A and B are shown apart, each in its own frame.
Chain A
Amino acid sequence: MLRREDWLPLARKLDWDYSYVREEEVFPEVISGRPWLPHSEWKDWEESFKTSYREYVDNQYEKDMAVYAVRDAVGRIENVEKLSAPWINSLKVHSAALPLAEFTGVIGNLRGARFGRDSAWRTMATFGALDEYRHTQIPLLLFHHLVKFDPQFDWTHKFYHTNNWFAVAARHFFDELTVGQNAIEFHIATNVILETGFTNLQFVGLASLARESSDHMFERMVTSIQTDEARHAQIGHPVLQTVMKHDPEYVQYLVDKWFWRNWRIFSILTGLSIDYLTALDQRPYSFKEFMEEWIIDQFLRTLDEFGLKKPWYWDTVMDELDIYHHMIYASAYSYRATLWFNFVIPGPAERKWLRQKYPRYWDEMDAVWEQTSERWRAVGPGASNELAVHGTVLPTFCDLCQLPLSAGTPRKNSAKVLLYENRKYIFCSEPCQWIFLHEPERYANHKDVVKRVLSGEAPAQLPNLLTEYFMLSPDTWGKDVHSGDYEWLRDLKTTTA
């Protein structure tokens, strides 16, 4: 094995002069990305880690051994049984959303490893692909034995293979981000926006929540993953820097588009975990507080560093911090059988905490929870009454993000209908419509769940939709953790005003 100082100049920075093909043929714009620039513009591409293969393997081996040691010590079913019920359901969300999304990251990085425009970039992307493969395998391994404990953990592997509405939305996002993307857009969108920003929510925010929840296995797993992310996320910055010199308007578009698309998915994935699926006494902060400290500030610093502007819809994001994930959670609770994890109703203490953290719109949300609680009170607790406290008609979904039309506020939903080439589309928000209109050829033919039902592709009756299309069963579909049996529900008045 070569020593680091011998390997670096020999292998890591090794570019070819082509004699019988043109550079444009080796790196076609359609897959390398735009703007297409000759290698002379990329030759100074550099990142700070300069890892050798030997170092990579040694480090990864040590990290894997540390994860396995924690699994052996605290990853048994009896350890999981001690966790709070809301947190166990948070685990089901992340164990499903994470591993195969990471696998699509393997594909994106391999595209960079072949079509990245400089050899050092390609070398780092090769390590990035290996990282993402590790991030696929570790959660699949750690969560597999929990299927014996709870069949909903089967969705760790199953989730992306279903047409569950949230899987449709997550696939729509990750397929565009990683699988169907050119190398330049992939590395800017994934490394600069997702990994430098939003995966902090997943891997720093959730690690902290896991620690508070005494879930040391999950804490160690996501912390270990984050160390890889911190390294391969470095690929994106020099890519962005070079593109900025030649086409700053395009970079601004990519930043605007991908910040929004990330915001949509991660506000749900993490917002629900922090503000609802973590026991109240184990919440170190609200989702909004974490976003402000870890995502917003850092993102604005990155924009400054590169001379970029805030996205045009910035005020909408700031507004949604107070309300969007609350609207999604309340909607999802009332359609919980369409998902693969269980829910809790926030009781008076939780609602008091939520009111303190989110005073701006909480009156409107409190009314929704009061009404839902009232239904449980009327029908009485018990598993047999689950579907009496459940939505009956089809909810609606956005034609861009594929998520429920739950944006704006309860007072005024921000959904917008668009007639485009004789077809009607509906978007949850102005930014989703704006993204659609920038690249309609990419999005126009994708059907959301409602249009699949209306065209006969998916069953219209809810029980058939759940079992035949969403691939759920009475064992696995989402329920109220307590079957409506909350001590506080027996009281007559629960409002927190």
Chain B
Amino acid sequence: MSIPLYGFLQGDTVGLVILAEEDDTLQALAQKLQVAASLRVAYRDQVQVVYNDQTMDPAMTVAQAGLQPLDRFDVVAG
């Protein structure tokens, strides 16, 4: 089931709604956000996902990370 999340990419001017799948890795989630914001922010190879002020393991899935619908996550330069 798709999970709508509020994604904030460092360097961007607005948050975006990102539809994640439970089994998406956080690395894939970060990529979705980077692609969605690519009109305004140049793609970075090295990024980190921050959720609840914690830097997350990129191999973890959305479900494992405990992301719930309408949660905020950030993608920052890493």
Contact = CB atoms under 8 A, between A and B. Distances in A.
A210 interface: no
Residue from the set B14, B17, B42 with the largest chain A CB neighbour count within 10 Å: B14
- What 7 A-B pairs are tightest by C-beta distance, nearest first? A331-B14, A405-B15, A396-B15, A327-B13, A394-B17, A424-B70, A393-B36
Contacts of B39: 334, 371-372, 375, 389-391
Nearest to A405: B15
Nearest to B32: A393
Contact of B40 (A328, A368, A415): A368
Interface in A308-331: 326-328, 330-331
Interface string A272-313: 000000000000000000000000000000000000000000
Contacts of B40: 330-331, 334, 368, 371-372
Interface string A62-93: 00000000000000000000000000000000
Given A367-B42, A406-B15, A413-B12, 14 more contacts: A326-B13, A371-B39, A371-B40, A395-B15, A395-B17, A396-B17, A404-B14, A405-B8, A410-B11, A413-B8, A413-B74, A424-B70, A426-B6, A453-B17
B41 A371 contact: yes
Interface in B14-40: 14-18, 36, 38-40
Interface residues of B, number: 23
Contact of A368 (B16, B17, B41, B71): B41
A417 interface: yes
Nearest to B52: A417
21 contacts: A327-B14, A331-B13, A368-B12, A368-B40, A371-B38, A371-B41, A390-B39, A391-B16, A391-B36, A393-B18, A395-B15, A396-B14, A396-B16, A396-B17, A405-B14, A406-B14, A410-B10, A410-B12, A413-B8, A417-B6, A424-B70
Interface of B: 4, 6, 8, 10-18, 36, 38-42, 69-72, 74
Contacts of A415: 6, 8, 15, 72
A334 B40 CA distance: 8
A412 B9 CA distance: 9
Contacts of A367: 11, 41-42
B35 to A, nearest CB: 9
A412 B15 CA distance: 11
Contacts, number: 88
A373 to B, nearest CB: 11
A449 to B, nearest CB: 10
Contacts of A392: 36
Residue from the set B8, B12, B41 with the largest chain A CB neighbour count within 10 Å: B12
Interface string A354-374: 000000000011011001100
A410 B13 contact: yes
Contacts of B14: 327, 331, 395-396, 404-406
Nearest to B74: A413
A368 B37 CA distance: 10
A404 to B, nearest CB: 5
A411 B13 contact: no
A10 interface: no
A2 interface: no
B76 to A, nearest CB: 9
B12 A395 contact: no
Contacts of B69: 424
Contacts of A432: none
A330 to B, nearest CB: 4
B17 to A, nearest CB: 4
A450 B17 contact: yes
Nearest to B36: A393
A21 interface: no
Contacts of A391: 16, 36, 39
A30 interface: no
B63 to A, nearest CB: 18
B8 to A, nearest CB: 5
A413 B41 CA distance: 14
Contacts of A375: 39
Contacts of B71: 417, 424
B11 A426 contact: no
A406 B14 CA distance: 5
Contacts of B70: 417, 424, 426
A326 B14 CA distance: 11
Nearest to A326: B13
Nearest to A398: B15
B44 to A, nearest CB: 12
A454 interface: yes
B73 to A, nearest CB: 10
A141 B12 CA distance: 40
Nearest to B43: A371
A327 B15 CA distance: 11
